[in-house]
Amino acid sequence: MREFDFIVIGSGIAGLSYALKAAEKGSVALVTKRRTVDSNTAWAQGGVACVVSEEDSFDLHIRDTLVAGAGLCNEEAVRTVITEGPERIAGLVELGMQFDERDSANGERELDLGKEGGHSKRRVLHFQDTTGFEIERTLVERIADHPAITVLENHMAVDFLTTGKLGYAMQDSCVGVYVLDEASGLVETLRSDTVVLATGGCGKVYLYTTNPDVATGDGVAMAWRAGAVIANMEFIQFHPTCLFHSKAKSFLISEAMRGEGGILLDAKGRRFMENHHPQKELAPRDIVARAIDAEMKRSGSKCVFLDITHKPADFLKSRFPSIYETCLSHGIDITTQPIPVVPAAHYQCGGVKTDLNGETSLRGLYAIGEVASTGLHGANRLASNSLLEGLVLAHRAYEKTTRQRKPRIEFNLPEWRPGQVQDVDELVVIYHNWDEIRRLMWDYVGIVRTDKRLQRAATRLRNLHAEIQEFYWNFKVSTELLELRNLVAVASLIVDCAISRKESRGLHFTLDYPEIDDAKFLRETTIRRT
């Protein structure tokens, strides 16, 4: 058993920010199942939404967020994240993060702010079109060789250790975590009174996603198995524009491109968003994604097109260098050709229910970043609010967990007992189940849903859950098997939440109940393992 003052699981903007701050107060174990830089944060292109311009205001940003959230935002959470954002951005800049600047009208340098869907003002700070990667790089450089931080790369969290499971007659608390060391194949026991979950989202539960391979919903699945309350998992955001190309895997075409004037065209080259929303291409993401889905189904086409060829070539190359180079490598010159795009699963708006300090319903367990449901996003996330939330909640969780710390309670946690298991000799079973889950979620629990599709998904997922559980207990654990176990759990949570919401709101749209029903469903969807 290895003991730490703080255990952080996940290495995106939230986990790294918290770890850096907590390291000033004690020892930190940073657990990440791949390399430290492998996170959803590193894939974020657009930027960070924050009020830094005199032409903008907190009230405008709050209003835009509430409108996008379709009635389900926690207004206190919205106000807290937005008003505390500028200070957290300043802290990030102090660590070395540089955002793009431009020459102002009076010749002075100023921040170059982008505009994205649902925003009434330009307020998105960015570094070209690789903002997330630059943030990740900045934080990882600060983490490296920090004397108080033990980085455990290629270590995957298996399950939390709780006093309830250990048989103690006290309030159920998280006191540690089992972690698989992929190199040795051994499961280690990590002990702490403060465990911070920052594992990101669950995009890989769908066949098509903008997320990296690490996004398998591990944190939500672990928290659910430990008995924590989960909220709003029916609200999965589909990004409207993912590159459609047989050799392009999960490549996002940033919403910032539409913010700079990109227009959406159907297969015949006709603009169509004006038929769906007054804000056209800059409508909230749920509306744009559904509009694209409808156009594709109406015409039978496999994609639509994003056209920004009317902008100067030099501007496109400097503002979107990563998108330009990636598209060019696939034979698409964005300066002269429209980009083929389709919607893809992008962001988990629900998650482990927390307060504004990251506290979950399970004592000792905190959740920050995309894995958490703070109430900021409601039924639909406003573009580029997520990185800001990660920064603000990491700081608030740090203040909460380090204020008036109590002496550590001594627990002698049990070692992992694998039992009489054998090595997995048929990985094809894991890969088949993985593929089946992702396909059924795409087909039955996608952008547009029905009761019949959801019930079919629920029935098949119950059978898959039983198969995977049997596999889990009879074979030696591996990263692939653990991810599959988490994937089926999160898929089931999404479906169960979706079935219970008999209306269409934000990201949850069902043909059986196409209208909003405030009388019955102006509330969170919560679920807890019994």
**DSSP for 91-127?**
HHHHTT----EEE-TTS-EEE--B--TT-SS--EE-S
Give Cα 62 distance to the centre of its chain: 21
Give the separation between CA 374 and CA 370, rounded to whole angstroms.
9
Give the separation between CA 481 and CA 483, rounded to whole angstroms.
5
Give the separation between CA 500 and CA 219, rounded to whole angstroms.
22
Report helix, strand or coil for 365.
Answer: strand
Active site residue 285: yes
Report helix, strand or coil for 432.
Answer: helix
Query: What are the DSSP E strand ranges found in 25-114?
Result: 28-31, 48-49, 101-103, 109-111
The token pair at 69 is 């959230």
In this structure, the number of other CB atoms found within 10 A of the CB of residue 480 comes to: 14
What distances in angstroms separate CA 465 from CA 199, 235, 352, 469, 493, one per listed residue?
A: 22, 22, 21, 6, 12
Residue among 159, 527, 168 nearest 361 (CA): 527
Residue among 475, 468, 469 nearest 434 (CA): 468
Type of residue at 36: T
**Catalytic residue chosen out of the listed positions 191, 285, 453, 505:** 285
Give the separation between CA 211 and CA 225, rounded to whole angstroms.
24
Where does residue 413 rank: exposed (0-12), middle (13-18), buried (19+ CB within 10 A)?
Answer: middle
Give the separation between CA 152 and CA 36, rounded to whole angstroms.
9
Where does residue 526 rank: exposed (0-12), middle (13-18), buried (19+ CB within 10 A)?
Answer: middle
Residues with a catalytic annotation lie at 285
